[in-house]
Amino acid sequence: MRGLSYAVLFFLAVQMILLFALPRELIYNGRINYEVTKNKVSDLDLVLDVVSQQIQTEGLRDYIVVLGDSVAYSGPGGPRQSISHYMEDISQDQGQPRRVFNLAMPAMQMGDIYTMLLKLKQHGISTEHLVINLIYQGFTERQPDPPIVFWLDQEFKQRDPATFALVRNHLAINQRGEAKQQSLNEAMKKFYETKLYPLIPILKYKDYITLSVLQQTKAVLKQGDSEAPDTRPWYEKPGLAELLDKPEYQKGLSDQPFVMDTTNPQILLLNKVMEQVAGKNVVFFLAPINQRLMQKNVTKAGYQENLQKIDAYFQDKPVKFLNLENDLDQAYFTDHVHLTPAGYQQLAQILYREIKE
């Protein structure tokens, strides 16, 4: 019996040592660790736990939260080339340092952003100062993709079943929202991940422990990352124009008239976001588009009329809205919508000026 007690104590001690030894920057290092989270979206809760702990430990009050997709995430560059990092630098330079937490994630849709707002409330993270990015594609007709909730469909269903019911069919067509038929092994794996792992730190953080071991092994072997992010400007990338001419990219810049009522899932969920951010300091920005690279799309009359519809939607909303469609020089783009580090630095200056005022 005594041996069992020692074994249990040893097991708990090992877990605590591993937990304290785990670098928190693996979980949140200026933004979400996408390479880990994309494989298990439930790890988002670990990110929010770390951010919440930072806020409490440092006694932060006047911090800013960034939500959105890969533009707000600031791909393809690294965390120190993101708008949140540059916004923090700007605040330091102005003698009023503020923390900026980047909780955006590539492919997030408006339903994910809405669900994130609900999750932030649960984790005690203030949404008093928010920056939220939009893209033109979000308002286009979904035929049927992309789903209005890409990552957090199950949480969306759990947290707001009434709104979920309004987009149930749309999500089902996109294989989102409904429980899928599972084998016994799949069901057991889900049970372990959702019920057992959260109770045992070594399992709860296993994805990040694995990453930590991998990084330390590479350091010992003096191996760097195999692929550095390609932040070259778009005009140095052969074949990019031809790639963006393919249908999967062209449909995202369609000039077909936008439907701006709640039959469009984007408007339905955007209205729900508006309810959550009422009375707060919020800046929405429509991501800039590379006007030179996408000239044949952005010069169409229907495209320009759609931009005016987005402007009109925000006219009576109690938030700040920046239509940055044509605000950045084409030299700052790394493709049609993502930016070079210098481009994100310019974007950060615009956003910080607006959120500060």
CATH code (residue 237): 3.40.50.1110
pLDDT of residue 134: 99
Q: DSSP string covering 51-91, please?
A: HHHHHHHHT--S-EEEE-SHHHHTTTS-GGGSHHHHHHHHH
Overall number of domains in the chain: 1
pLDDT at 90 over 90: yes
The domain of 155 spans: 62-176+230-356
Whether residue 123 is contained in a domain is answered as: yes
| CA distances to 43, 114, 182 from 30, in Å | 16, 21, 36
What's this model's pTM, rounded to 2 decimal places?
0.90
- Give the lowest-confidence range in 70-79, 169-178, 305-314: 169-178
Whether residue 37 is contained in a domain is answered as: no
Whether residue 48 is contained in a domain is answered as: no
pLDDT at 10 over 50: no
pLDDT of residue 207: 75
pLDDT at 175 over 80: yes
pLDDT at 291 over 70: yes
Whether residue 222 is contained in a domain is answered as: no
Rounded distance, CA 250 to CA 238, Å? Answer: 18
Cβ(328)–Cβ(348) under 8 Å? Answer: no
Whether residue 172 is contained in a domain is answered as: yes
Q: How confident is the model at residue 25 (pLDDT cuts 50, 70, 90)?
A: confident
pLDDT of residue 131: 99
**Mean pLDDT calculated for residue range 105-119:** 99
Amino acid at 299: T
**pLDDT per residue as tens digits for the range 29-40:** 999 999 999 998
Whether residue 251 is contained in a domain is answered as: yes
Average pLDDT, the chain: 89
Whether residue 203 is contained in a domain is answered as: no
Q: How confident is the model at residue 180 (pLDDT cuts 50, 70, 90)?
A: low
DSSP 288: P
Using DSSP's 3-state secondary structure scheme, residue 134 falls into strand
Whether residue 25 is contained in a domain is answered as: no
